[in-house]
């Protein structure tokens, strides 16, 4: 395992059911960064009545002082996780990495490298620009209801929140990214997929354009 990261088990720890494994598609989803929002969302997807099994694993820093937790390190673990589940009798249909554009911490060059490595190794990448919260917003509102640049910049509107977080909070009468309420998003999943597909979904385009390819992963699971 890569030295800086370990598997986080507090969140996203839904078990893979041993029964009916051969009749279901298994998706291993590795999440870079803090990732609590993404884990809870995909745990909610897991609990829906779908024909797929979702196993979410978030990677956390080994030490609080380590500031180098980075999507590149997640790539180091994807193949290892595949081998781990194969040893336990699970052969994942697809491995996905979920990341944000995160201009503050990840350069365009680094993300290009991640995209290329995923293509080379047969991994799938679900990228959101600017953040995963944009994908959540699409469950409730169409992006055309907003100024595109305002969404893309996602500037801070107060000390604790950026624009999209604040918008989610206003629309949902409260939003906590560390404890989302999946039921508030579940009924809007198909709408979110439809709205996201109007925008760019190619990861190379998402380096600088508003959009998300998370819709491609979610659609596969819930179709």
CA–CA distance, 116 with 80 (Å, rounded to integer) = 19
- Whether residue 100 contacts residue 134, with contact meaning beta carbons closer than 8 Å, is answered with no
Out of 12-21, 162-171, 185-194, which region has the weakest mean confidence (pLDDT)?
12-21
- Between the alpha carbon of residue 145 and those of residues 53, 150, 158, 201, the distances in Å are 34, 11, 22, 19
CA–CA distance, 109 with 127 (Å, rounded to integer) = 15
pLDDT in tens, 113-143: 889 988 988 889 999 999 999 999 999 999 9
Mean pLDDT of 166-178: 95
User: What is the value of pTM for the model shown?
Assistant: 0.86
User: Average pLDDT over the chain, rounded to whole?
Assistant: 83
- Whether residue 6 contacts residue 78, with contact meaning beta carbons closer than 8 Å, is answered with no
CA–CA distance, 205 with 210 (Å, rounded to integer) = 9
The first and second tokens of residue 136, run together, are 């959540």
């Amino acid at each position: 395992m890569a030295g800086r990261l370990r598997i986080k088990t507090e969140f996203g720890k839904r078990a893979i059911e041993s029964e009916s494994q051969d009749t279901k598609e298994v998706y291993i989803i590795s999440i870079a960064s803090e990732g609590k929002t993404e884990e809870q969302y995909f745990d909610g997807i897991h609990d829906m009545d779908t024909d797929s099994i979702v196993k979410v694993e978030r990677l956390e820093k080994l030490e609080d002082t380590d500031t180098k937790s980075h999507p590149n390190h997640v790539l180091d673990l994807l193949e290892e996780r595949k081998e781990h589940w194969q040893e336990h009798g699970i052969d994942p249909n697809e491995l996905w990495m979920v990341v944000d554009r995160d201009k503050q911490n990840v350069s365009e060059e680094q993300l290009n490298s991640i995209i290329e490595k995923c293509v080379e190794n047969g991994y799938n990448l679900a990228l959101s620009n600017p953040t995963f919260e944009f994908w959540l917003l699409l469950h409730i509102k169409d992006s055309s209801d907003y100024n595109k640049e305002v969404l893309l910049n996602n500037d801070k509107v107060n000390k604790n929140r950026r624009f999209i977080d604040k918008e989610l909070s206003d629309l949902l009468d409260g939003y906590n990214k560390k404890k989302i309420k999946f039921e508030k998003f579940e009924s809007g999943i198909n709408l979110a997929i439809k709205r996201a597909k109007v925008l760019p979904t190619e990861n190379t385009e998402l380096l600088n354009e508003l959009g998300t390819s998370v819709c491609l992963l979610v659609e596969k699971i819930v179709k």
